[in-house]
Structures are given as structure tokens and as C-alpha cells.
Amino acid sequence: MPLKYLFVSNDTRGGSSVSQRQLARRLAERGHTVEILAATVESRVARPLYDRQVDLSTRLRTSSLRPALLALQRPLGRRIRRIATPDHPTWVCAIPENGFRSLRRRFEPDVVVAASIDRVSWRRLRAQLQAASIPSVLYLRESAAKGHLTVTGAPPDLLLANAESLAREARSAGFACTVVPSIVELDRSRTETTRTKVVLVNPIEMLGGDRVWAIARARPDIPFVLRESNIMSESDHAQIDRELPRHPNVVVEPFTTDPSEIYRDARILLVPHRVDNRPRVILEAQSNGIPIVATDFPGLVEAVGAGGVVVSNGAADDAWVEAVSTLWDDERRYEELVQAAVGHASRDEVVPDRILDRFETLVERLLRDAADPRLTNRR
């Protein structure tokens, strides 16, 4: 049954956005009408002004001035424009919750799905959806997004998570949550790897990029590749540039939109994150039979499965060196993990068509349970 989906987020970059666009494209291929609205990264005036006004109106929550401040905020950053993005085009504006008003008049969505969205944007978008009786879906893709439930206090009509660890945390906080893994189209990332390097993607401090230096220093015989991302800041690049001259066995390669390039020489994928998430790169690497060395956060443990090893987030550098060295030096252990990685990447729950079936079923059930007249009229 064709529906009109609107996806809303605060970014057009990163793995979450890629998964969202691949989901949107596949829904469109099944006959649904799909639009995406995201925050542009180019806002230099509207966004900072809006953030300051939000902060002021929050501090003046009980003041008689607050309604006037809120009225001033609504027009900011609402102008939308459509840009070409891989897999599916995207509407962008400075403030998604304000741009939603414009796009809603054009599009009239049956359901709105929010993912990778900040707390203010979600709270204000959720209020608009409730006022318009439009069903809402919140798709948890990052651990920090749990704050939309426990801090913001704005639960959606349907709560999804891309990892069982996220769903468990939501359930423990009293919210029903269903796991729907992110879509990762593995055909794009498959390659014949030379298995000659340790690869780390997006080497920023939050994702443990700085941990590579101690490993590289302890193992000067191992070549390391740091693959840049499109979300790295100038300070991220500067920090890497300071370290590179002291580590001749480390090279930096530029951001690419072709995931197969990332794994062409990988023997090991290093994922030393300092935050709990479920990055696409783990599944992509494992589909090429590349074992993982990752931090032992619940989402990463779940994503790695038997196809790699995990190291405690609080462990000393020696533990990371040992984990990488074992996979590099012990050929028998390495081959065991290669086979385990391939098997883990082949499990039914990550097959895109199965994910899409589950997503469609849950959304259609949501609309039926809400007795939505738009759905009823199409039967």
C-alpha cells in the first residue's frame, strides 16, 4: 500500500545519512513517495542565531516574554531547497523543524521518520506532528539519541532502534522499542583485498582515532591507513598532521564515496570508538572477510559478533597493541576470524529486503492502529 514518507534529520553526512537514503530509495522503488529533509552544513547566520534564541527561551521558560521569543524563532532557517545526494535527493534548510512547515504544505506526509536529530529539533518537530495528527517514528541510531526519550520526554508513536543494545536501553527506560537494523548495501563495498594494512575510518578523537598512534609506534612493521571522512573538522585534520611525521608507517587517504576503496588493502579494520554506536563499516568490512578490532561497547560488540575481537574502552594502550598484533601475527587465529566475519555478515537480519519488509510492516501497523483515515481511504 503506497504511503508518503518524510525522513527528517540534522545532517546529510555520515553513515546514518547513507543508510537513510538507501532506505528511502528502496521504499520509492516499492511504489512509496519519499522525501528527505535535513539540516544544511552551510548555515553561518540562521543556525547560530536560532541556537542563541532557543537557549534564551529555555532560560525564560516561565517568563511572559517566552511566547514572543518562540514566535521570532519559527521563521528562522525555514527556506528549503533540494540538492542531489547519493541514492535519493534531499531537501535542506538551516532549521529542519522550521523547514518542515514549508515542506509539509507541499508534501502532506502520511508518516514522518526522524533519525540522527538533535533534541530541540525532535521536540519541536514532535509537537508539530501531534498538532497535525501525523504519526511519528523515531529511529535510534546513536546512543545519545536515548535522551529524546529520557531527557526531552517526547516519545514517538513508533520507536525503532538499529541495534538490540539500543532497544534494550529504551525498554529499560519504559519505552517499547523494535529493532530494525540500518540498511547497508554490501555489493557496493565488496572488493578483493590485499590484506596488507590496518585500516581506521574517520580518525577523530570521539571515534578513538588517536589510539592508532600508540599501536603504530609499538608496531612500526605494520602499515596503517587512516581514511578521512566528510565530517572531519579543521582541528581534526591539524591534529593528524602533527602526528604523521612521527609515525612513518601511518598514511592518510582522502574521503571517498566508493566504500570498496576503503577495504582494498585491509587486513584488519580498527574501530576504537569512545562512543557506543553501530557503524556501517563493520558490516562492510566483514562482508569482505576482514576481522574487526573494536571497543567493547554493547552496540559494537553486537555488530562485531564472532568476527573480531573487542578491547575494553578503559584498557591501556598495550591491550590495543596486543589485539592488533594477534590478528596480524597469528595466521591460524586470523583465518578463524575471517570465516566468522563472513558468516556474521551473511545473517538474515542484515539482508536489505528483509529489513525493508520489517520497516514497511511496522509503519503500516502504526497507521492502522491509529485508525488513520488516509490509510483507510486507500483500502
pLDDT, tens digit, 9 for 90 and up, residues 124-151: 999 999 999 999 999 999 888 888 888 8
Helix, strand, or coil (residue 2): coil
Tens digit of pLDDT for each residue in 38-52? 999 777 788 888 888
Would you list the DSSP string of 185-208? Answer: -GGGT-------EEEEES--GGGT
d(CA 106, CA 82): 13
Within a 10 A sphere around the Cβ of 176, how many other Cβ atoms? Answer: 10
- Enter the C-alpha cell of residue 332: 591460524
Rg (CA), the chain: 22
Angle at 284 between CA 283 and CA 289, to 5 degrees: 90
Whole-number pLDDT of residue 99 = 96
User: Residue written as cell 524563532?
Assistant: 73
Q: How far apart are CA 159 and CA 169, in angstroms?
A: 12
Nearest-angstrom CA–CA distance, 37 and 159: 19
**Cβ contact 95:72 at 8 Å:** no
Asked whether the beta carbons of 210 and 184 are under 8 A apart, the reply is no
- Whether the Cβ atoms of residue 375 and residue 367 lie closer than 8 Å to each other: yes
pLDDT at 59: 84
Instruction: Report residues of the chain scoring pLDDT below 70.
Output: 371-379
Q: Which domains, and CATH codes, for the chain? A: 4-183+350-376 (3.40.50.2000), 186-346 (3.40.50.2000)
**In this predicted structure, what is the pLDDT of residue 379?**
32
46-103 pLDDT tens trace? 888 888 888 888 888 888 888 888 888 888 999 999 999 999 999 999 999 999 999 9
> Alpha-carbon distance 139 to 137, whole Å?
6
* Predicted pLDDT at 371: 65
* Other Cβ atoms within 10 Å of 310 Cβ, number: 17
**H/E element, 6:** strand 4-9
